[in-house]
Amino acid sequence: MQLKLLTGIFLSTFFLYQSQSALSQEITLHQVNKEYQIGKSLQIIVDENKNITFEEIKSGKFDDKFVKSEVDVPNYAYLDANFWFKIKLDDQSSNDSRWYLESSRTQIDTIKVYFEKEDGSFMEYASGDLYPYDSRIIKHKDFVFPIPKTENGKQTIYVWCKGNFSKQFPFTIIEERTFAEASHKTDLTMGILFGVFIAMVIYNLLLFFSLRSLTYLYYVLYMGSFLLAMMALTGYGYEMLFNYWLRFANISNMFFIALTVLFASQFTRRFLAVKKHSKIFHYALFAPEVYSVFLIVVSLTGIWIDGFVLFASKSAAYCGMIGVLVFLPTGIGIYRKGSRPAYFYLIAWTALFVGVIIYVLKNNAILPQNTFTDMSIIIGAVAEAILLSLGMADRIKTLDKEQRQARDKMISTLQENEDLIKNQNQILEKKVAERTSEIMEKNVEIEQQLEEIAAQRDMLSATKLELERQNDNVTSSINYAQRIQKAMLPQEDRIHHVFRESFIMFRPRDIVSGDFYWYTEIEGKKIFTVADCTGHGVPGAFMSMIGINLLNEIINVRNVTDSGSILYKLNEGVQKSLSQESSSNKDGMDMTLIVLDEEKKTLQFSGAKNPLVYIINGEFNIIKGNNNPIGGISKNGNRDYDTHTIPYEKDMMIYMFSDGYQDQFGGPNDRKFMVKRFKKLLHEIANKPSEKQLAILNQEMDCWMKNTRQLDDILVAGIRL
């Protein structure tokens, strides 16, 4: 029992000693070794609450919280925390040796290093992405701090790191000359790699200006963005380009990674003709494009809002992953459709894919950090750039071959067309000769026909002259008949003298008219009539002359003054004058006749098919005539015409008219004016002066007819008693 107790005490003491020994392990600097990877010699506190101060650290309050690192490069991925590192150093090298503490992790917002002095106080150096480049003690892309000498060579160094970045801490202690040589080699290597990118950009930019193809432009933008992203990741961007714009330098790697993916997607679309080959991959490419635009916005927002930087840093890695995971299947799918450019594209993106996967796994602490994992994405990018350039060159070669084939095909086609044209010309020449012979024969026939036409033309000209002469004679005769007709009609001045308020609208269709008006005064009675004879023009004019002569005989010679009797005797006279009982002649006339007796203050009216319209105090009245015309053969024997007697009143407006006005065609639908519209018009103008009424009737008819030909004689008479 005592033996077991002693054994337990011994083992506990041993492990406690080993633990304390591990925590207090020093780094001894010798003259022989020039560079020390100190990852496994680090003691680390992960300050997730971000509240531990240096005063608390140097006081020893948290000495028991330090944990020894077990890896060469501590990797905490994207853990949101501050980190304290403790380094025990024993410098046994010569006094001439100078040593540097170097962090090759270039994306650190703030890094502070505290070197212990002889008196126990500490010397502080501060640097980081958020500090001006000129404030660095050692002007270098990495964070490099000179280690001060102490009298006994022993000292404790504390390092505090803070920032929104992937948390890898590759600390190295390196001798001054070794550091200079390593920096020179690194700068030379990176210069060569960046030079390859720049050469690709310039070469393809020249191709773009030469060929004017957007494929080369997007390739230039893709390579240019990739170059800037690599410079930002390796610290050269901060050193050479963005050292005066610290907030942008802090997010530059995320920003340019997003641009790289965006332009890579656009290049993929055009280089592989994705839309032509596959609708699925065409829409799939929207995923990295949308994500990259989102990352651009988030990273730029991080310039002003610090909390967005960590999110953008995480998103940048996934943006590259999403791009590669879409671009590779796209290349495979297009390659399987037989696209030759997809072969180079697929190999190039496979190389980059491997580099990106290794880099992302390193950032997420799955793979260790070393020179290969740090440079994996750059190596893959250079390989991709070279392979894509070969693909672009092959594309030019393919296009040149296709152009030569197209040119040869065009030349062959032109030769065939030339032979075809030659054959066609021969055929055409033969046909032209045949047609020329036919045309000459036709010309002889045409000349004979022209002679016949000329003879017929001369005959027609003579006939035309004869017809014009005869027409002039007929027109002269009709004009003379017009003068005779006007002489037989009562003068309008006489009508206006008898009836002060009156008008006569008289518009013959031809030179002479079949409509007529007539007036006489006998035994103190005023007799006025409006008549519409059968036909118009010369036939109608003859009938009007018969009617006027018969009215003179019946009224002025035989003293008949009853309106009905006048029409009765006029009917007999027309039938007798035209011998209608023994012939087939049916000509005659429609008539309205009034007899005014001013002494008895009465008005007699009789009508042969035509009515009398009169308006008193705005009231419209109409008296219809008998349905018998004047003249023609009556099937019912003798004709009677009623005599209507109405009181004679002052300001009574009387209208008598033929059917020419209401039967005239016109208007928007080329229809008759109609009786209803005519009566409405008379009612509307009845209270106006007679001159105004005449003007309105003429204007209304002109508007109604427009370009329509007048179909019949028009006669309207109005008298105000």
Residue 105 has pLDDT above 50, yes or no: yes
Kindly indicate the confidence band of residue 6, based on its pLDDT and cuts at 50, 70 and 90.
very low
Residue 382 has pLDDT above 90, yes or no: no
Instruction: Kindly report, residue by residue over 405-464, the tens digit of the pLDDT.
Output: 777 787 777 787 777 888 888 888 788 877 887 888 788 788 888 878 877 887 877 777
Mean pLDDT of 28-49: 86
Mean pLDDT of 689-707: 92
Domain 186-402 maps to which CATH number in 2.30.30, 3.40.50, 1.10.3470, 1.20.1070? 1.20.1070
CA distances from 593 to 418, 491, 570, 647, 653 (A): 94, 18, 12, 16, 15
Contacts for 58 with CB less than 8 Å, ≥ 6 apart: 114, 122, 158
At residue 80, the pLDDT reads 85
At residue 22, the pLDDT reads 39
At residue 491, the pLDDT reads 83
226 in Cβ contact with 388 (< 8 Å): no
CATH fold of 25-182: Immunoglobulin-like (2.60.40)
Q: Which two tokens stand for residue 531?
A: 């008549």
d(CA 144, CA 87): 15
At residue 309, the pLDDT reads 64
Q: What is the mean pLDDT of the chain?
A: 83
Instruction: Kindly report, residue by residue over 288-308, the tens digit of the pLDDT.
Output: 888 888 888 877 776 666 555
At residue 24, the pLDDT reads 46
Residue 183 has pLDDT above 80, yes or no: yes
| Sign, CA torsion 417/422/427/431 | positive
Share of the chain above pLDDT 90, in %: 29
Which string of b and e fits 265-297 if b means at least 16 CB within 10 Å? Answer: bbbbbbbbbbeebbeebeebbeebbebbeebbe
d(CA 147, CA 100): 5
Kindly indicate the confidence band of residue 354, based on its pLDDT and cuts at 50, 70 and 90.
confident
At residue 528, the pLDDT reads 96
Q: Where are the domains of the chain?
A: 25-182, 186-402, 486-720
At residue 691, the pLDDT reads 93
Kindly indicate the confidence band of residue 685, based on its pLDDT and cuts at 50, 70 and 90.
very high
At residue 365, the pLDDT reads 60
CB neighbourhood size of 487 (10 A): 8
Instruction: Kindly report, residue by residue over 469-505, the tens digit of the pLDDT.
Output: 776 666 666 776 677 777 778 888 888 888 989 999 9
Instruction: Report CA 3 to chain centroid distance, whole Å.
Output: 97
Kindly indicate the confidence band of residue 9, based on its pLDDT and cuts at 50, 70 and 90.
very low
Please tell me whether residue 683 adopts helix, strand or coil conformation: helix
Which of residues 548 and 512 earns the better pLDDT score? 548
Residue 374 has pLDDT above 70, yes or no: no
C-beta pairs of 27-31 under 8 Å, 24+ apart in sequence? 27/87, 27/88, 27/89, 27/90, 27/173, 28/90, 28/92, 29/89, 29/90, 29/91, 29/92, 29/93, 29/97, 29/99, 29/153, 29/173, 30/92, 30/93, 31/92, 31/93, 31/94, 31/97
| Sign, CA torsion 631/609/543/656 | positive
Contacts for 554 with CB less than 8 Å, ≥ 6 apart: 560, 566, 569, 570, 573
Residue 311 has pLDDT above 90, yes or no: no
Which of residues 664 and 312 earns the better pLDDT score? 664
- Of 158-172, 345-359, 472-486, 530-544, which gets the smallest average pLDDT? 472-486
Kindly indicate the confidence band of residue 399, based on its pLDDT and cuts at 50, 70 and 90.
low
Q: Tell me whether residue 563 is exposed, middle or buried, using C-beta atoms within 10 angstroms of its C-beta: 0 to 12, 13 to 18, 19 or more.
A: buried
- Of 118-127, 468-477, 533-542, which gets the smallest average pLDDT? 468-477
Contacts for 594 with CB less than 8 Å, ≥ 6 apart: 527, 528, 529, 563, 603, 604, 605, 612, 654, 656
Residue 546 has pLDDT above 60, yes or no: yes
Mean pLDDT of 703-714: 89
Which of residues 694 and 448 earns the better pLDDT score? 694
CATH fold of 486-720: Phosphatase 2c; domain 1 (3.60.40)
Say whether pTM exceeds 0.75.
Answer: no
Q: Which two tokens stand for residue 505?
A: 């609208």
Please tell me whether residue 604 adopts helix, strand or coil conformation: strand
Which of residues 210 and 84 earns the better pLDDT score? 84
Contacts for 650 with CB less than 8 Å, ≥ 6 apart: 721
Mean pLDDT of 576-590: 85
Give the CA count within 13 Å in the CB-facing half-sphere of 333. Answer: 21
Smallest CA-to-CA distance from 572 within 641, 489, 643 is with 641
Residue 8 has pLDDT above 60, yes or no: no
Kindly indicate the confidence band of residue 73, based on its pLDDT and cuts at 50, 70 and 90.
confident
Kindly indicate the confidence band of residue 19, based on its pLDDT and cuts at 50, 70 and 90.
very low
At residue 475, the pLDDT reads 66
Residue 114 has pLDDT above 80, yes or no: yes
